[in-house]
Amino acid sequence: MSIPIAFIICTEPGRLEAQSLMLAESIRKFCGELKDTPIYSFHPRVGEPISKQTQKAFEALQVNHQQVPINQEFHEYYLANKPLACAYAEQNIDAEILVFLDSDKCFFSEPKEFLLPVNCNARLRPEYGQGIGSTGLRDSQEWYWQKLYEVLGVKREVFVETPIGKKRIRAYWNSGLVVVRRSAGIFTAWKENFEKVMRLDITPPQGIYFVEQSVLSVTLCALEENVEHLPANYSYPLPLHNRLSTELQIKHWNDIISIHYFNLFFYNDWNAQIKKFKKLNMDSEKYLWLCQEVVRLKMPRVSVLHRYMLVIRRMEQKLRNFNLDINLSGWIEKMAKL
């Protein structure tokens, strides 16, 4: 007899260990009637296993962790873990609904919207900003989407509105939280399409990083699935709070179902960064629990300089498109070591 729902995460050695632990703890503590939902953690690449400490913590949280070498062809591209692990789960876990979660998530209330209605096979959030998305035929990134549409057989155009800037773009969903009905075969189709696109070496303008996410979006369009959007308080992009459209900004921590925190807790100044969020009331025991867990799990590892360096490198990359090769980041790194 199949179980109603199961959660899927990927955990590999390093920073993902603490993130996956905090995610699992938040599910067990805050997810109400779904708090005992089975959690399956996959380590999809060959290499050193996760630490014994993390394995014991997973056991205490009843997280089923497996190191299964399913990402071999695309071993160097860690985001390939997602479609490959999801397809493996779809073929091996007997659950009616599967929920894939990036490890940089944390829950604070029961995610009732995960229980899909009969006429819906998929629920996601739109990608937060345009990113590599296309507004349509006049967009400089349109060629990439047209190529994916051609290769993957999209017949019907679908558009979504981004939470940042409220831009109308071709259907582009965030792959960090994906709820599907297992019988629809969406994860297997995602894997097959991802492999096809990777072998054809079709990449977006900014590089390989968003291939898995854009391919998921185009796969859903090709399947002509009735995709429903999860409410704005699901996978709430906390570091982007100040940039969200005003009506989508959450005012109180207790109104959040789950957050997507990206690299926020990777930096030593994470607490100061949170205090910059406008009109977000953090007078909540849930927020205090989060702060305690971030410290307990020793998640902050990097100085603020690292974040600024990433910004500078992105600017340098854009300048190279105009044949301007400026290596400011290299100079800063050299001076920092002196």
Closest C-alpha to 31, from 20, 43, 23: 23
Say how many CA atoms lie within 13 Å of 251 toward its Cβ.
Answer: 2
Which residue ranges make up each domain of the chain?
A: 3-229, 304-337
- pTM, two decimals, is 0.91
Own/partner contacts of 142-145, CB < 8 Å, gap of 24 or more, are: 144/202, 144/203, 144/204, 144/205, 144/214, 145/170, 145/214, 145/218
Average pLDDT of the residues in 11-29: 98
In the CATH hierarchy, which fold is given to the domain comprising 3-229? Spore Coat Polysaccharide Biosynthesis Protein SpsA; Chain A (3.90.550)
Q: What angle do CA 215, 106, 35 make, to 5 degrees?
A: 105
pLDDT per residue as tens digits for the range 122-174 = 999 999 999 999 999 999 999 999 999 999 999 999 999 999 999 999 999 99
CA proximity to 160, closest of 152, 150, 168: 168
pLDDT in tens, 43-94: 999 999 999 999 999 999 999 999 999 999 999 999 999 999 999 999 999 9
**Which residue reads 């409220």 in tokens?**
166
> Helix 186-199 crosses helix 81-92 at what angle (to 10 degrees)?
140
Tell whether the model's pLDDT for residue 1 goes beyond 90: no
User: Which of 300, 281, 293, 301 lies closest to 23, judged by CA?
Assistant: 293
Residue pointed to by tokens 């400026």: 326
- Given a cut of 70, whether residue 307 has pLDDT beyond it is no
Distance CA 12, CA 49 (A): 7
Give me the helices (H) in 139-282, please: 142-152, 186-199, 211-222, 270-274
219 backbone dihedrals φ, ψ, rounded to 5°: -60, -45
